[in-house]
Amino acid sequence: MPERRILKRQWATSEGWRDTKLGMWAWLLQRAAAVALIAVIVLHLRNPFLRAVQAVLLGLVLLHALLGVRAILLDFGLPVRWHRPLVLLAVAVGAVCFAAFWRWRWY
């Protein structure tokens, strides 16, 4: 049986990360936000009144939700060439919403 050797991208090296494009970063960000969100939600449920937890929760929720909207739009047939502007739009809208909301709540 001949040995089957299959190479994969080496994520532990800098060469493996070369040419990682925005679409991939968007997905990684989405996933990182998702995992972090689980931890932060649990913290929030334990004590809903901690301001730092609320802030992080809001930021992550906005990021995850808006990038998720982008993914759903692409799945529904939005032209694929818009995927990059959509990432920037998602992040920008998230930042604006966060700032607006945080100021508006006046704690």
Which residues contribute to the site for other proteins (CB under 8 A)? Answer: 2-9, 15-19, 21, 23-24, 26-28, 31, 34-35, 37-38, 41-42, 45-46, 48-49, 58, 61, 65, 71, 74-77, 79-80, 83, 101, 104-107
Distance CA 96, CA 107 (A): 19
Consecutive H or E run containing 38:
helix 22-46
Distance CA 89, CA 70 (A): 9
Kindly tell me which of 49 and 52 has the beta carbon lying closer to other proteins. Answer: 49
Kindly tell me which of 32 and 92 has the beta carbon lying closer to other proteins. Answer: 32
Give the shortest CB-56-to-other proteins separation in angstroms.
Answer: 15
Phi, psi at 106, each rounded to 5°? 50, 80
Give the shortest CB-1-to-other proteins separation in angstroms.
Answer: 11
Angle (nearest 5°) at CA 87 between 12 and 9: 20
